[in-house]
Amino acid sequence: MATSDHDLTFIVPGDPGQHTGGYAYVRELAAALEAGGWSVRIEGLSGRFPIADDRARKAMEQCLRRLPDGASVVIDGLALGGVPEAVEPHSQRLRLTALIHHPLALETGLPDETRAHLFDSERRALASMASVVTTSQSTARELAAYGVQEASVTVAPPGVAMAQLPEPHKPRDRGTTLELLCVAHLAPRKGQDILAAALAPFAGEHWHLTLAGSTTRNPDFTARLRGMLAQYGLTDQVTLTGELEGENLIPLWNHAHGFILPARYEGYGMVIDEALAAGLPVLSSDGGALAETADRPGVRLHPAGDHTALKDHIHAWLNHPDQLHSQARAACGSARSLRTWSMTAREFEGALKTCRPEQGSAVFEAGWLGLRERADQKARSERLTTRLRDRIATPQTPLAICDLGAGTGSNQRYLTPRLPDPQQWLMVEPDPALAPTIHQPQMGNGSTTHWWQKQVTATNLNEVIPEKVDLITASALLDLMSREWLEALAATAAHRHAPLLMALNYCGNFELQPSDSEDQWLRKTVNEHQHRDKGTGSATGPDATRILSEALTAHGFEVLTDPSPWELDHRDSHLQQALMAGWCQAAREQAPGDQSAIDRWQAQRNAQARSGQLRIRVDHLDLLALPPSEARQP
């Protein structure tokens, strides 16, 4: 099936017609893009999101698999963040763009363990994206914690549809009812409980509040809110409408005197724009992006979660109608500068036109790491990991682990459930596109993770690895390092008296079935390229495990190795193609005169991979080194 450069698929969780700001953004943006000549389709996925179940993962995988090579796909963050394993295999084949309204881990009220899971899952998923779009600059900054640099993010704030510019309502008499409106589904993050507490002192006065939003998305919160309203004596003054469609909201916009958004956090707060477009004065929190997006004439901000400050603003509206009317005039002025959806579409289109699977070495590297993770974990030696665990006594203090060249955290994800709790991880990674720059959520078991963006050299290993460390580890790293670096690592480990676990070290051999007459030449050329300088001097390549073993043995370590081969078949076709692309690029650099032959070999092998006929074995070795006292234990 062919695809046009102006064909676009949006993927969202559940029914695309849901009435929330995120779903409305997608629908309005799709309409604006279609008006600009794009052919847009919105796909809704079955299953549970964002804590994805098997049905959700299968729905995402099937949806992506149906799309032709090179297709442009925008995945809503609510669908993307929970299913990295379904997205990663398609990162080289499709032009994938993430649409992030706000990071999933920042949802209000999540348990620590769930928050840490969502952080890790969304970080993995974002690593597979060719481009990222957010609805606010605030969200773009927050994604730095996920390895996405702010400068690489396209910010496309929402627009608003206005038939005509608003005029302020006539001033309200003090004796008439002040009609207040809040449009948001009922949930802790939206803060309707804060609004109830702010209104409590005014029970029985001349006001009425309409809460327009779903009461079923979070039934526990809805029940708690109803209980608060009853406790404060506000039940008769607050109407819960449930979820309303756009046309059914029009009478509410027209009837209200003022709009309130008490949210604890927002990624943008589209409803603020809609309120201004209706000419309504606004009381808004400064939660998340609202500190910037809602800071406009006609809007009064209060600290997120501060019901006392919100109460004071409501008191002014109740008792000073002239202030309310003045704020309404300012809101009508702000409406004149509201963005249109066509503006949003132009910004979004710019991100789509520059989106390519091969774009940017940092993006490709992150995508490659995500793509290979399943094969890595399947290949690793359980025997050596078990031997290491058995040698580590149940720690009285957190187990201190230093992960060198941590990438996106795959090594940690493998080892964490296999080693005693609690654990204290130092993740050392030089690439700013991979290492988070902001503290990430603490794990639910009391373990902690600290990322350090640092280039590790032979001369600073002793500085980088902590004095008190219970394990030094790395994955897929040794063959990139020089002899000097490996010998410095052995010396530092001996000084620290710490075990080493070095996984997935390339051995210099790979085999493909069916075989081809050019395979041997390509393997030889790739291995020669492996010895080039990768940043620490001439790399040891396939000799790395032997060189490190000899250095550690000289320091009295007991050194154990186990094979950890990749065995890739039709289920790994996308990884096979990405792997061969790396081999062929190395071969072109090593033998530039043979590019035509390399291109023919790659085209033939890619066809075999896509048809499920290709099998690839890549030999690795895992290495466990126990210091002298550890080695003597029975």
pTM of the full predicted structure? 0.63
Task: Enumerate the β-bridge partners of residue 450.
Answer: 426
Continuous H helices in 570-627:
573-590, 595-610
Instruction: Name the nearest CA neighbour of 234 among 244, 226, 242.
Output: 226
Amino acid occupying residue 590: Q
What span, in angstroms and rounded, lies between the C-alpha atoms of 282 and 296? 10
Using pLDDT thresholds of 50, 70 and 90, give the confidence band for residue 329.
very high
State the pLDDT confidence band at 120, using cuts at 50, 70 and 90: confident
Provide CATH code, domain 178-338.
3.40.50.2000
Superfamily of domain 7-159+343-353: Glycogen Phosphorylase B; (3.40.50.2000)
Listed range (7-11, 121-125, 167-171, 590-594) with the worst mean pLDDT: 167-171
| DSSP labels, 530-548 | HTSBSSSSBB-GGGHHHHH
Mean pLDDT of 229-235: 97
Q: What is the gyration radius of the CA atoms in the chain, in angstroms? A: 29
Confidence at residue 445, expressed as pLDDT on a 0 to 100 scale: 58
CB 180 within 8 A of CB 356: no
Contacts of 373 (CB under 8 A, 6+ apart): 88, 124, 410, 413
Contact criterion met (CB below 8 Å) for 500 and 493: yes
Query: Could you give the CA distance from residue 44 to residue 58 in angstroms, rounded to a whole number?
Result: 13
Contact partners, residue 517, CB within 8 Å, separation at least 6:
none
- 484-539 residue pLDDT tens: 999 999 999 999 999 999 999 999 999 999 999 999 999 999 999 988 876 667 88
pLDDT digits (tens, 9 = 90+) for 588-598: 889 988 988 89
Q: What is the 3-state secondary structure (H, E, C) of 235-275?
A: HHHEEEEECCCHHHHHHHHHHCCEEEECCCCECCCHHHHHH
Residue-level pLDDT at 358 = 39
Q: Are 484 and 544 in contact (CB under 8 A)?
A: no
Q: pLDDT at position 395, please?
A: 66
Is the per-residue pLDDT at 440 higher than 60?
no
Contact criterion met (CB below 8 Å) for 272 and 286: no
- Confidence at residue 250, expressed as pLDDT on a 0 to 100 scale: 92
| 268 close to 77: Cβ distance less than 8 angstroms | no
Among residues 104, 100, 102, the alpha carbon closest in space to that of 114 is found at 104
Burial class (CB in 10 A: 0-12, 13-18, 19+), 520: exposed
Task: Give tens-digit pLDDT for 544-557.
Answer: 999 999 999 999 99
**Which residue has tokens 């449009």?**
183
Condensed to tens digits (0 to 9), the pLDDT of residues 245-275 reads 778 999 999 999 999 999 999 999 999 999 9
**Inter-residue contact 79 to 49 (CB < 8 Å):** yes
What share of the chain in percent tops pLDDT 70?
93
The rounded distance, in Å, linking the Cα atoms of 335 and 164 is 10
Of 76 and 397, the structure prediction assigns the larger pLDDT to 76
What's the whole-number mean pLDDT along residues 435-450? Answer: 62
**127 touches 367 (CB < 8 A):** yes
Domain spanning 361-631, CATH class: alpha beta
Signed CA dihedral, 372, 377, 378, 384: sign only? positive
633, burial (CB in 10 Å: exposed 0-12, middle 13-18, buried 19+): exposed
Query: Which of residues 616 and 137 earns the better pLDDT score?
Result: 616
Q: Give the residue, 358 or 305, on which the prediction is more confident.
A: 305
Dig out the tokens for 545 from the structure: 């495990």
pLDDT tens profile 40-91? 999 999 999 999 999 999 999 999 999 998 899 999 999 999 999 999 888 8
- Cα separation, 247 vs 518, in Å, equals 66
Helix residue spans in 70-191 (DSSP H): 77-80, 84-87, 112-126, 137-142
Q: Where in the chain is the domain with CATH 3.40.50.2000?
A: 7-159+343-353, 178-338
Higher-confidence position of 390 and 150: 390
How far is the CA of 139 from the CAs of 104, 264, 418, in angstroms?
11, 15, 34
pLDDT at 532: 82
Strands 72-76 and 95-100: parallel
* Tokens read off for 302: 């209060």
User: What pLDDT, on the 0 to 100 scale, is given for residue 363?
Assistant: 40
- Find out whether 340 and 156 touch, Cβ atoms under 8 Å: no
- Which are the contacts of 319, defined by CB distance < 8 A and separation ≥ 6? 174
Question: Which SS3 state, helix, strand or coil, does residue 619 take?
Answer: strand
Q: Are 481 and 545 in contact (CB under 8 A)?
A: no
Ranges of CATH 3.40.50.150 domains, the chain: 361-631
Rounded distance, CA 598 to CA 523, Å?
Answer: 12
Which neighbouring-strand residues pair with 329? none
pLDDT digits (tens, 9 = 90+) for 96-111: 999 999 999 988 888 9
Give the residue carrying structure tokens 């040698």. 391
pLDDT at residue number 143: 87
Cβ pair 481, 541 in contact under 8 A: no
C-alpha–C-alpha distance, residues 7 and 28, integer Å? 17
pLDDT of residue 581: 85
Helices 112-126 & 361-379 angle (0-180, nearest 10)? 120
CA 393, CA 325: separation in Å to the nearest integer? Answer: 70
Q: What is the mean pLDDT of the chain?
A: 89
Residue 157 has what pLDDT?
A: 94
Report which of residues 41 and 630 the model is more confident about.
Answer: 41
Handedness of CA 102, 107, 112, 117 (dihedral sign): negative
CA dist., res. 479 & res. 483, Å (int): 10
Distance CA 155, CA 268 (A): 11
In what order do the strands lie in the sheet containing 131-134? 39-45, 7-13, 72-76, 95-100, 131-134, 153-155
The pLDDT of residue 208: 97
Instruction: Give the single-character DSSP code of 159.
Output: -
Token pair for 160: 């608003």
Residue keyed to tokens 């999540």? 110
